[in-house]
């Protein structure tokens, strides 16, 4: 958990964004679309998966009274705009709205009959035309440079869209939240994997002396190389730091670091020095008073 908090989230977010955007920009979208459509068209699955479903949805749409009413209203609106005199004359005989309603209903019924026939006849000409067009389009996606360039432009425009950029930037937030939720759980998946992995490493180290020796050698070798690389820099840093400080600064730092122990050393030093000085003085006075033999 603490490791997640130590991460520089801004740097991680930008790294993920750069990684994802780069992969998207280098992705051949036209070839992928061709492969996907090729998979859908294998064994005639495109008829059931695409065409039949589309025809059923269209039939359901046309078999809706509200749809027919909207179609009727559009026909009346268009007729009154394009042929106002004719519509005015027809209105004397029969309201144009009634004629439009009847016409819209007949058109819808005719289209429904045609759609049902297409659905019931696997050899219908529309199915053959659809299959030929789709096969040609799949081939063009894979081989036509102009179509591939068009798909590429669409892809680049989508990648550059601000909403896509915001979504990619937010990926780390989702990953971070998911990891945190998992680590907070006692039965978290990530924690379980880490525990199993570490336990496996521990068991392997316990029963394999060669592995232990190899790890020790790697650690020692790495430490030696690191020490050699840092030795000169650390020495120079210490020398420059000490050189740049005055005596007062050094004393202050020592007092802050050592604290009461420094005062104790000072007191003991003064006391011992005074006693030694007193003893020496007494010896000198004693020697001066002793008569020479």
With beta carbons less than 8 A apart as the criterion, state whether 52 and 186 touch: no
* Spatial separation of the C-alpha atoms in residues 184 and 191, rounded to whole Å: 9
39-43, 79-83, 158-162 — which one is most confidently predicted on average? 158-162
pLDDT digits (tens, 9 = 90+) for 177-224: 887 787 777 777 777 777 788 888 888 888 888 888 888 888 888 888
HSE-up of 66 (CA within 13 Å, CB side)?
A: 2
Q: Residue 150 above 60 pLDDT? A: yes
55 to 36, 37, 47, 68, 203: CA distances (angstroms):
21, 19, 10, 17, 63
By percentage, how much of the chain surpasses pLDDT 90?
4
pTM over 0.75: no
Q: Give me the helix-helix angle, 52-62 and 96-120, nearest 10°.
A: 160
Domain boundaries, given as residue ranges, for the chain? 2-169, 258-289
In our burial notation (b when 16+ CB lie closer than 10 A, e otherwise), range 151-184 reads: bbeebeeeeeeeeeeeebeeebeeeeeeeeeebe
List CB contacts of 4: < 8 A, sequence separation 6 or more. 176, 179, 180, 183
Name the nearest CA neighbour of 168 among 24, 27, 17, 23: 17
């Amino acid at each position: 958990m603490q490791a997640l908090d130590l991460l520089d989230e801004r740097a991680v977010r930008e790294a993920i964004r750069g990684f994802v955007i780069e992969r998207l920009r280098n992705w051949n979208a036209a070839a992928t679309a061709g492969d996907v459509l090729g998979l859908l068209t294998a064994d005639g699955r495109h008829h059931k998966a695409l065409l039949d479903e589309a025809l059923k949805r269209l039939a359901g749409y046309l078999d809706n009274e509200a749809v027919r009413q909207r179609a009727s209203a559009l026909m009346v609106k268009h007729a009154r705009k394009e042929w106002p005199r004719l519509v005015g004359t027809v209105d004397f005989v029969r309201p144009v709205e009634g004629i439009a309603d009847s016409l819209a209903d007949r058109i819808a019924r005719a289209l429904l009959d045609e759609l049902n026939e297409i659905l019931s006849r696997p050899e219908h000409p529309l199915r053959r035309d659809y299959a030929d067009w789709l096969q040609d389009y799949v081939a063009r996606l894979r081989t036509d440079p102009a179509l591939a360039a068009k798909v590429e432009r669409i892809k680049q425009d989508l990648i550059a869209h601000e909403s896509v950029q915001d979504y990619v930037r937010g990926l780390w937030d989702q990953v971070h939240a998911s990891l945190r939720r998992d680590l907070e759980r006692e039965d978290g998946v990530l924690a379980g994997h880490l525990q199993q992995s570490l336990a496996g490493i521990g068991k392997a180290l316990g029963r394999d002396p060669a592995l232990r020796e190899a790890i020790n050698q790697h650690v020692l070798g790495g430490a030696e190389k690191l020490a050699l690389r840092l030795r000169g820099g650390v020495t120079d840093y210490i020398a420059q730091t000490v050189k740049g400080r005055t005596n007062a600064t050094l004393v202050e730092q020592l007092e802050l670091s050592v604290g009461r122990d420094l005062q104790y050393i000072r007191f003991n030093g003064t006391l011992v020095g005074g006693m030694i000085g007193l003893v020496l003085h007494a010896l000198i006075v004693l020697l001066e008073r002793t008569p020479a033999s």
